[in-house]
Amino acid sequence: MIKEILDKYENLPFKWGQHDCCLFSANVVKELTDYDYAKEFRGKYSNKKEAFNLVKTLYNCEDLKELVTKLTNQDIRQDWDNALPGDFVAYFFKDEYVIGINYGDRSYFVTTEGKKFLKVPNRNCEGYWKVTE
């Protein structure tokens, strides 16, 4: 099921407030679990400045890693043997965190560069948060 979900999103162009790293990740998890981690900020921003302003004002967070830690109410983990497909993942990319989705031994991220996913080996990622069972 997750492969089909990821395939659906892979060729979508990056767009703040519609298909950025947070919404991509939240959309995948919502399809897998029926829980919407983005319900508080979905539809409330359309550019990077507005997005990060929401992170700071709505959640009192400095970056996306802190945001996901707060949204999931758990610390980031590095025990990759226990990560499941669909878990949120953090990766430090070009001076900031991006949030993606675990899929096997790699995690998939939406970035402003290119149309396809950035696929990063899990050992190169910061860690993950458990959101799937």
**Amino acid identity at 101:** I
DSSP letters spanning 30-96: HHHHS--TTTTTTTS-SSHHHHHHHHHHHH--SSHHHHHHHHHTS--B--GGG--TT-EEEEEETTE
User: So what CATH class is 2-129?
Assistant: alpha beta
Per-residue pLDDT tens for 87-132? 999 999 999 999 999 999 999 999 998 778 999 999 999 999 999 8
Q: What is the mean pLDDT of residues 40-44?
A: 96
pLDDT of residue 132: 83
In this prediction, residue 60 carries a pLDDT of 97
Alpha-carbon distance of 59 to 113, in angstroms, equals 27
Q: Where are the domains of the chain?
A: 2-129
Residue listed under structure tokens 């060729």 = 11
The predicted model scores a pTM of 0.95
